[in-house]
């Protein structure tokens, strides 16, 4: 069988996250289904992808196997989501994070006042978000570029401590992870993951980047440098 490497646009309606994700259609560990839930072949999946933007929903079946449901996404839906994200960015740019009390993996409480007087890079994510996981090596690279005296990196996760700890057994993430952050995400009306914020020393959100990218290190580094330079 011919090997197809595909890029899929993610558009999940419950926990929306938009970005490119790659799968091999001939992977024997994947069970492909159409929007009606019917099992389809790799060739049938390719035909769906050729017709335009597609969303997918993944289900972890265990033992390395996954079920992927492919659903066509209209250009109108994509435009609406893009507009929603732009409105959300406008609302929160120059605003402050809502009051919060979250705990890191070690059980230390982190709240708003702990971040004042520091530049802060925030990454909202969750364990089941594949783009969130895939960008972690590049985010780790960003952490290593700056000292703790310069920048604080925090990663509010929708997941509880046990799920995050299990994920950390397989990969490193150098951000300070804050667990059970659903309340903060809800207070902000956040619906796209990953979402990155850059906050100045006064606690103001100065830059927002929604979604992961192959250039996430460069993108965040450029925005962070811009915020730090504006204070000089």
- The SS3 assignment for 40 reads coil
Partner residues linked to 66 by β-bridges = 30, 60
Give the pLDDT of residue 5. Answer: 32
Give the pLDDT of residue 28. Answer: 87
Instruction: For residue 32, give the H/E element and its range.
Output: strand 30-33
Where does the chain hold its CATH 3.40.30.10 domain(s)? 87-230
Tokens of 57: 């929903």
Q: CA-to-CA distance for 18 and 210, rounded, in angstroms?
A: 8
Token look-up 């899929």 returns: 8
Give the pLDDT of residue 23. Answer: 59
Q: CA-to-CA distance for 127 and 3, rounded, in angstroms?
A: 28
Give the pLDDT of residue 10. Answer: 36
Q: What CATH code would you report for 87-230?
A: 3.40.30.10
Give the pLDDT of residue 8. Answer: 34
* Closest by Cα among 28, 34, 35 to 61: 28
Give the pLDDT of residue 216. Answer: 94
Give the pLDDT of residue 3. Answer: 31
Give the pLDDT of residue 18. Answer: 31
Taking only the tens of pLDDT, the chain with its 232 residues reads: 333 333 333 333 223 333 334 456 778 888 998 888 899 998 888 887 777 667 767 777 878 788 888 877 666 666 777 788 899 999 999 999 999 999 999 999 999 999 999 999 999 998 878 788 889 999 999 999 998 888 999 999 999 999 999 999 999 999 999 999 999 999 999 888 899 999 999 999 999 999 878 899 999 999 999 999 987 6
Give the pLDDT of residue 64. Answer: 78
């Amino acid at each position: 069988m011919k090997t197809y490497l595909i890029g899929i646009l993610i558009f999940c309606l419950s926990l929306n996250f938009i970005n490119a994700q790659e799968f091999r259609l001939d992977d024997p560990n994947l069970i492909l289904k159409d929007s009606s839930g019917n099992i389809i072949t790799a060739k049938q999946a390719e035909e769906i992808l050729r017709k335009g933007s597609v969303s997918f929903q993944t289900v972890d079946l265990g033992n390395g196997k996954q079920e992927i449901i492919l659903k066509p996404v209209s250009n109108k839906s994509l435009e609406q989501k893009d507009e929603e994200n732009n409105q959300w960015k406008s609302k929160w740019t120059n605003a402050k994070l809502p009051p919060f009390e979250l705990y890191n993996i070690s059980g230390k409480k982190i709240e708003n006042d702990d971040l004042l007087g520091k530049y802060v890079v925030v990454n909202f994510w969750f364990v089941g978000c594949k783009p969130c996981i895939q960008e972690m090596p590049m985010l780790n690279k960003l952490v290593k570029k700056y000292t703790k005296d310069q920048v604080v990196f925090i990663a509010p996760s929708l997941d509880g401590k046990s799920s995050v700890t299990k994920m950390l057994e397989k990969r490193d993430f150098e951000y300070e992870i804050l667990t059970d952050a659903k309340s903060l995400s809800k207070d902000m009306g956040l619906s796209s993951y990953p979402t990155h914020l850059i906050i100045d020393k006064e606690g103001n959100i100065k830059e927002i980047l929604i979604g992961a990218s192959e250039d996430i290190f460069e993108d965040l580094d450029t925005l962070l440098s811009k915020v730090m330079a504006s204070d000089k």
